[in-house]
Structure 1
Amino acid sequence: MRRTICWMGTALLLAACAAQPVKPPAPESYTAETTYAKLAARYPFIRIASRTVPPSVRAVTDVTYVRRRHGDLRHDLKLDLYLPAAAGTAPRAAIVFVHGGGWRAGVRANFAPMAIRMAERGYVAATISYRLSPEAPYPAAIHDAKAAVRWVRAHAPDYGIDPGRIAIAGGSAGGQIAALTGVTNGESRFDPDRGNVASDVQAIVNIDGLSDFTSEEARKYEDDPAKQPSSAGAWFGGRYAEKAALWRDASPLYHVKAGTPPMLFIVSAQRRFSLGRDEMTERLRALGVPNRVVPVPDTPHSFWLFDPWLAPTVEAADAFLKEVIPPRTDSPGLPPAA
């Protein structure tokens, strides 16, 4: 994508135009620290949620879950695991976290605080990196999220995970990615690398992420002509008028079907970030798919990065997952992770 800058000489009525590349944002442009700088004046009581790993949690970091090619270069995509330090008597549910950042920024450390707190409650939590839009357009991020689920399932015996109880969660753009990853269970075109059953999830947690890119209200923000390009436009490689099929294809709303995993929506007070949710819950209800909407009142977008809002977010996710993917009574116990 290029930006054109023009200088008009009024006397000569000549214009000289130079095209300059638009530099994409760095992944670190969306972190808890950069977001705190924007929110602290309005919400002086908030604090960045801690990433300190307590003694009750064990961290396994910088694990390569899939290798991708970017031109002539190899990109090893990484994840960090957080799991209870104490040995369990039965396999645990796992949850894969997908960070936000407008599909073109963000880091997996953004979900470390929530992953740690879920591990304290007995889950094995993975925070993942994935290919952002400056590296690879839609649907590369979906392929990566499914690859992460496959890795977690393949390594279930190593970390005491129940392979039949894997959830995917995300916030903002990561919420949309997580939702689309889950609602496309069994759709092989979204899972070109290996068998799609291995990448199926049993529950979805969408935290303030879009369910529909195509609605008029969503396009007001996501297809704003003043943004060259918008975050969504950069991911899809074009505006809605140019890439309407992709904008629809990436909308979780249009993939809801019988057998869609149970879904939890945790939402801020900023309606624009979860547009399409009402229509999606209607479809889920009509199909008998368990779903719940939990608002976190008086919150900005990205609320899950901060205390005191992380606690109710964790509580909502834990309560829902315990309900929809409870421990299996027929599961044998597993030895502690090595």
Structure 2
Amino acid sequence: MRFSRFSRILLWAVLGGMLLSGVAVSGTRRPTPVRVRRWNTRLLGQRQRIVYERVDHQPVTLYLFRPDHAGSKKRPVVVYIHGGALRYGTARISNRNTPHNRLLVMVERKLIQEGDDFVTINYRLAPLYPWPEPLHDARRAVRYLSDHATHLRIDNEKMAVMGDSAGGQLSAFVGLTLETEGPYPQPIVEGVVDLFGPTDRHAFALQWRRRHGLEPNPVFGVMTWERVKNESAVSYVHRGAPPFLIIQGTRDRIVPPRQSQLLRDKLAQAGVPVEEVLVKHAGHELVDRGGPINPPLTVLADQINDFFLQIL
């Protein structure tokens, strides 16, 4: 079929509009770019952007916050890993007035005031980079900080990690699987704060099977039971793991309390120091459900900082 010059121009205009609006020619919608908001203005300290790896010629970054008058003394460091179902999110802590952001800001401010460093990391996201790539990045980021401790003036014997939701899952994996090299390996981090992170993927895999059958999951691929086991942090609990502080909302429907209880019980059985704080009336990301959350955010922030003070 031959088209007139006007018809060809019209056709290209329509196709171009479809692409610009995020709709591919095949009719499938492209992912909408996540809007990156400005940094939260209440964060303290000097912020330094660091490229800790390059993948496909693209930088993968972390941000190091340190006291304004840090000096040359090595300092303890807490590494924060963001959530977002391993598909969304960014290292940037925004100005959005959410319980999650308010808690992070309170924790960060206290750490900086105590003279410690605070790090928040980016990692590659599914479906372009499915599991275990996000985990590889989280491990590389923490190892990068440890390997470059002298240059960064970090005390690599006083490192801890914390994360929420999917970041809590990654934090648990880092604490349970990232070890020093040599004949007597030891955990690289001294402690883990897991905020409502998934710990056992069997329940999530069953839920996916009921809804989607054998269709591959965009993050975890085809869910064989062996893979599900390997993707569950509870599978890696061992004696000698670092202490854990687990914070879990009692009304969380995204990551039910049972997930945190399973990790708590496994750690306790292995003789690993663990404390679980159940937050009443708290849904996912500590949003209140049916009443004010208890303990409130200020108390939770104090409990987290006390945990860091004890282990670091």
Alignment TM-score, normalising by the size of structure 2: 0.74
Flag structure 1 segments of 5+ consecutive residues without an equivalent. Answer: 1-17, 34-49, 189-195, 327-338
Partner SS, residue 236 of structure 1: coil
Question: Where does residue 279 of structure 1 map in the other structure?
Answer: 262
- Alignment deviations for residues 195-250 of structure 1 (CA, whole Å, 9 cap, x no partner): x96982221111111110113xx4465555169979xx211123x3xx33222211
SS in 2 for 1:101: coil
User: What amino acid maps onto 1:287 in structure 2?
Assistant: A
Distance change in 2, residues 1:199/1:152 (3 Å): farther
For residue 245 of structure 1, what is the aligned residue in structure 2?
Answer: 226
| Preserved CA contact (<8 Å) 2:67 2:115 | yes
Distance 1:158 1:186, change over 3 A: closer
Distance 1:100-1:226 versus aligned 2 partners, 3 A rule = same
1:107 — aligned with what?
A: 90
1:254 aligns with 2:235: yes
- 2:301 is matched with which residue: 297, 314, 332? 314
Residue 191 of structure 2 is matched in structure 1 by: 203
Partner of 1:51 in structure 2?
40
Q: Say if 2:245 and 2:276, in contact at 8 Å, map to a contact too.
A: yes
Q: Which amino acid aligns with 1:265?
A: I
- For 2:227, the aligned partner's letter is L
Higher relative contact order (CA 8 A, sep 6+): 1
Partners of 1:80 and 1:53 lie apart in 2 by 16
Deviations 1:14-44 (CA, angstroms, capped at 9, x unpaired) = xxxx96435345444xx899xxxxxxxxxxx
Q: Which structure is higher in strand share?
A: 1
**Equivalent-residue separation in structure 1 for 2:296 and 2:41 (angstroms):** 17
* SS at structure 1 position matched to 2:284: coil
8 A Cα contact 1:100 1:106, kept in partner: yes
The 3 A distance-change label for structure 1 pair 199 and 284 is closer
Structure-2 separation of matches of 1:199 and 1:136? 26
2:76 is aligned, of 85, 90, 93, to 93
2:200 to 204, 212, 227: 212
The verdict on how the C-alpha distance between 1:289 and 1:278 changes in structure 2, with shifts beyond 3 A counting, is: same
Counterpart for residue 236 of structure 1: 220
1:321 CA drift (Å): 1.9
Per-residue CA distance 1:262-302 (angstroms, 9 max, x = gap): 11111123344154322222221122211111233322312
Which residues in structure 2 correspond to 1:1-338 (within 5 Å)?
20-21=27-28, 23-24=30-31, 26-28=33-35, 51-53=40-42, 57-60=45-48, 62-69=49-56, 74-87=57-70, 91-110=74-93, 113=105, 114-186=107-179, 200-215=188-203, 218-219=204-205, 221=207, 225=211, 233-238=217-222, 240=223, 243-272=224-253, 273=255, 274-303=257-286, 310-323=297-310, 325-326=311-312
User: Structure 2, unaligned stretches of length 5 or more?
Assistant: 1-24, 94-100, 288-292
Matches of 1:317 and 1:82, distance apart in 2: 18
In 2, the alpha carbon distance for the partners of 1:309 and 1:78 equals 32
- Partners in 1 of 2:71 and 2:210 — Cα distance? 50
Shift of 1:124: 0.9
**1:53–1:59: 8 Å Cα contact kept in structure 2?**
no
Secondary structure of the structure 2 residue equivalent to 1:302: helix
TM-score (norm 1): 0.69
Aligned in 2, Cα 1:187/1:102: closer, same or farther, shift over 3 Å? farther
Q: RMSD across aligned C-alpha pairs, in angstroms?
A: 3.5
Q: Is the 8 A contact 1:25 1:104 kept in 2?
A: no
Q: Deviations over 1:112-159 (max 9, x none)?
A: 735444323332111111010122111111110111111211232344
Q: Distance in 1 between matches of 2:34 and 2:210?
A: 22
Change (3 A) 1:311 1:135: farther
| Distance change (3 Å), C-alpha of 1:58 and 1:236 | same
Aligned counterparts of 1:226 and 1:302: Cα–Cα separation in 2:
26
The aligned amino acid for 1:257 is: H
Distance (whole Å) between structure 1 residues aligned to residue 170 and residue 276 of structure 2: 18
